[in-house]
A and B are shown apart, each in its own frame.
Chain A
Amino acid sequence: MSYQTITDQPELLDHGPSSFIGKYIWSQDHKVIAIQYATTAIFVGLVALVLSGLMRLQLGFPNTFDFIDPSNYLQFVTMHGIIMVIYLLTALLLGGFGNYLIPLMIGARDMVFPFLNMLSYWIYLLSVIILMASFFVPGGPTGAGWTLYPPQAILPGTPGHDWGIILMLVSLGVFIVAFTMGGLNYVTTILQARAKGMTLMRMPLSVWGIFIATILGLLAFPALLVSAIMMMFDKLLGTSFFMPAIVSLGEQLGHAGGSPVLFQHLFWFFGHPEVYIVALPAFGMVSDVLSVHARKSIFGYRMMVWAIVAIGFLSFVVWAHHMYVSGMNPAFGFFFATTTLIIAVPTALKVYNWVLTLWRGNIHLTVPMLFSIGFIFTFTHGGLTGLFLGNVVIDLPLSDTYFVVAHFHMVMGVSPIMVLFAAIYHWFPLISGKMLHTGLGKFHFWVTFLGTYAIYLPMHYLGFLGVPRRYFANSGTEFIPESAQSLNASITVSAIIVGLVQLVFIYNVILTLRKGKAAGANPWNAASLEWQTPQVPPVHGNWGNKLPLVYRWAYEYCPPGVKDDFVPQNIPPEDLIKSDDER
């Protein structure tokens, strides 16, 4: 197919912004949609952060805060979990960074279906509004835990068993519709709209991570939708898909014969890939940030791509490791333990490659780099405790204790958040044209990094002591020593500090947007395509008159015989300035 610039087809730019509303509200530009997604996700994320602060206040200082009762507490736990996993992390990583980076990194002008992309954001916003509405309905939001296990999720006795759970299920359904619209766009754009020369193996790892994570999402979210629809039938129409014969508050209900374990299988068939829907984009983005700030090609690029693909595949055959205590055929337990441990191989390979990328690199300890190195620590620690929990015999005593809470917060809470911060600090100059304040950034990093360790390291110990998770209070439990309470208090203090320091980050963003110094084009001297747009920040259409031609991969750092220590993907070989030695 012959090469032709899009300017020869001006009608294709007819979704260009013309007014303020067209530009910033009903925009079909992937960059604006990305910012809309990110802003909404960060807003709900802050709500979830406040909820976790309230939970910690109760745990650290029981009998102190009258406004937190057991029902509220369970509602905080539930809403914190579901918001963080789905409405913040999935939306910010794929809806936010996916939208922003894919077209720029592959050299496209926009997503292939801009209207669908816009619709995806507005439907996502609708799902957020429905979810937030559950705070204001009679009975409040659901308190069934983020896994929403039946039968208790829809029965009296559980907070929010009426409107709360209905709104939650509707909101999840709406979210999945939004995600599917976005996901189809990301995958098709990557397959169909790459610039000339941008082969699959020349794509930055960020795009690979987002690509495979989107495929996982497209295949895994239907399981959540199926379980949500069936639970809605059980709740509203009185069917018995998941509901067994049950006596509730002394009354025999009409349900009979349903299987709650069936729900668990469906839920975790979505739930485990969800971990990688969050992790894979983070893996990709951290690889890019590490490479740029270490001025070194990513180590083992092909292995990194294959590992992403392998992890994506394996993530669909490990789900039942979340259900060891639900009971299963021992042969299944063995199967799922084995696949769980196998997934550690490609994951460990990635960690080695990140470390080897740093090895003998020209490491610049910039704020994004600090967050990325922080991620290697938190992810390794979180991943290692996963090896404990993947084994049936070790999981059984540790299940439902704070060890599990500490594990998954390290591996899929703190770690993706570290990458998100790395990514925000790294790409902020591209998005806004301004450089975030470094001093404030470093302060933000150190308090967050050390603070999360102060929160989650002691939690592992609490888990070993057998302190159960999800409990409103632990008083009168003999096997829990007094010192555990002191530890809980210290965790709460750390959590409050880490929560508050996020305000410094928000202050930094606002300050920079108002008074920040201009970053200029490509301030990090990155080789990948998104930094090579004619204007920074990129304008609508991204590439001016001519689409870029791609000559090499995205990791050409310190090549021999070239003056600069990086070579952008779109510079022809004949235009390279040779180093003094070569001349």
Chain B
Amino acid sequence: MGFISALTEKPWLAQGAGFGVGQVHVIDDETLSETKSIALKIFLGVVSVFFSLFIITFLARSQYPDFQALSGNVLQPFYNTRQLWLNTAFLFASSVCLQLAWLNVKREPAKPRLRYLWLAGLFGLQFLLAQLFLWRTMYGLGFYVSSNPANSYFYLFTGLHGLHLLGGLFVLCKAGVAYLRQGSDKQLRTGIRLCAIYWHYLFIVWLILFGLLVSSPETYKTLAALCGY
């Protein structure tokens, strides 16, 4: 209960110098990496609010009569979820590679973790390309962005999730390139730490979005009722 006890401190009473908890005085690699990971976690909180709000509007919108769920019947594209599972596998592989890189983060030499990092990047890129392919398939089948709100949400969800992953790929490449160019192992380690957290998070977000996109109208109805609609 550190935070509560911190908030009940009586600062007007005399205490010695350096009294208290939670300060950072030495900005070494370890603390800098820790600070970045704290900032990343706060950022993930912000992203969670962002996606949660989209999901709530999705559930509300799903209760209007014109909403045609993408997995509602055999004519709908997500009645068969094979392509989506394949894409999920790419992202999962990417996440696993980063976890392996993280497990190797303190071992010498640095090569294995770098290899896992690049592999994760490749799988991530593959996921993005596969998502683009999915867009093309949907478009080819006549599921345009404005023809139904369910389609609109499909493009919105996958697009925003993809943009987040693209941002992650940028950071991942930066860490890898910094190592190759300057031999900066500390940047590589911090990069792996941050990317691993971010990738696992994005994988979970994708699973939620995936589940939402392939659910039945009855599931939407139940979830929307739970949200008060």
Contacts and interface: CB of A to CB of B under 8 A. Distances in A.
B27 interface: yes
B10 interface: yes
B35 A192 contact: yes
Contact of B42 (A187, A198, A226, A238): A187
B20 A197 contact: yes
A254 B25 contact: no
Nearest to B23: A194
A302 B20 contact: no
Nearest to A226: B53
A551 interface: yes
Interface in B1-30: 6-12, 14-28
Nearest to A218: B46
Contact of B39 (A1, A2, A188, A240): A188
Interface stretch (B58-66, B89-97, B105-113, B122-130): B58-66
A113 interface: yes
B156 A180 contact: no
A241 B152 contact: yes
Contacts of B85: none
Interface residues of B, number: 50
Interface string B66-99: 1100000000000000000000000000000000
Given A191-B38, A241-B61, A257-B64, A202 B25 contact: no
A330 to B, nearest CB: 14
Interface residues of A, number: 63
Contact of B18 (A187, A218, A301, A549): A549
Interface stretch (A3-11, A29-37, A89-97, A506-514): A3-11
Contacts of A302: 7-8, 10-11
Contact of B11 (A2, A219, A301, A572): A301
Contacts of B24: 1, 192-194
B42 A573 contact: no
A297 B53 contact: no
Interface centre among A200, A223, A258, A302 (most CB of B within 10 A): A200
Given A199-B6, A199-B9, A257-B64, A237 B46 contact: no
Interface string B47-64: 101100110010011001
Given A184-B42, A191-B38, A254-B146, 11 more contacts: A187-B42, A194-B22, A196-B25, A233-B145, A237-B152, A239-B152, A257-B64, A259-B64, A266-B57, A269-B53, A302-B7
B38 A192 contact: yes
Contacts of A180: 43, 46
A230 B7 CA distance: 40
Contacts of B28: 9
A195 interface: yes
Contacts of A226: 50, 53-54, 57
Given A197-B17, A269-B53, A219 B46 contact: yes
Nearest to A188: B39
A239 B66 CA distance: 12
Contacts of B14: 552, 573
Contacts of B145: 233, 237-239
Given A259-B60, A262-B60, A198 B23 contact: yes
Nearest to B66: A257
A463 to B, nearest CB: 33
B140 interface: no
B27 A9 contact: yes
Interface of B: 6-12, 14-28, 31, 34-36, 38-39, 42-43, 45-47, 49-50, 53-54, 57, 60-61, 64-67, 145-146, 149, 152, 156, 160
Interface centre among B21, B145, B156 (most CB of A within 10 A): B156
Contact of A184 (B6, B7, B43, B67): B43
A358 to B, nearest CB: 18
Nearest to A112: B35
Nearest to A245: B66
A440 interface: no
B15 A552 contact: yes
Contacts of B36: 113
A237 B4 CA distance: 49
Contacts of A233: 145, 152, 156
B149 A239 contact: yes
Contacts of B60: 259, 262
B217 to A, nearest CB: 15
B61 A202 contact: no
A266 B49 CA distance: 12
Given A219-B45, A226-B57, A184 B10 contact: no
Contact of B45 (A192, A218, A301): A218
Contact of A257 (B20, B21, B42, B67): B67
23 contacts: A184-B42, A188-B39, A188-B42, A192-B31, A192-B38, A197-B18, A198-B20, A199-B20, A200-B20, A202-B20, A222-B49, A223-B49, A229-B160, A230-B57, A233-B145, A238-B145, A240-B146, A241-B57, A241-B149, A259-B64, A262-B57, A266-B57, A572-B17
A6 B57 CA distance: 48
A207 B18 CA distance: 19
B11 A3 contact: no
B25 A240 contact: no
A547 B19 CA distance: 16
A194 B20 CA distance: 11
A223 B50 CA distance: 7
Nearest to B50: A222
A113 B39 contact: yes
Nearest to A12: B27
Interface centre among A218, A254, A572 (most CB of B within 10 A): A218
A280 B152 CA distance: 38
A284 to B, nearest CB: 15
Interface centre among A191, A266, A269 (most CB of B within 10 A): A191
A305 interface: yes
Contacts of B53: 222-223, 226, 266, 269
B63 to A, nearest CB: 10
A115 interface: no
B17 A196 contact: yes
Nearest to A305: B7
Interface in A232-276: 233, 237-241, 254, 256-259, 262, 266, 269
Contacts of A201: 6-7, 9-11
Contact of B149 (A3, A187, A240): A240
A459 interface: no
A555 interface: yes
A574 B65 CA distance: 76
A200 B65 contact: no
Nearest to A5: B25
A313 interface: no
Contacts of B11: 199, 201-202, 301-302, 552-553
A102 to B, nearest CB: 14
Given A199-B20, A202-B11, A553-B11, A4 B65 contact: no
Contacts of A219: 45-46, 49
B140 to A, nearest CB: 18
A110 B14 CA distance: 28
B23 to A, nearest CB: 5
A196 B19 CA distance: 8
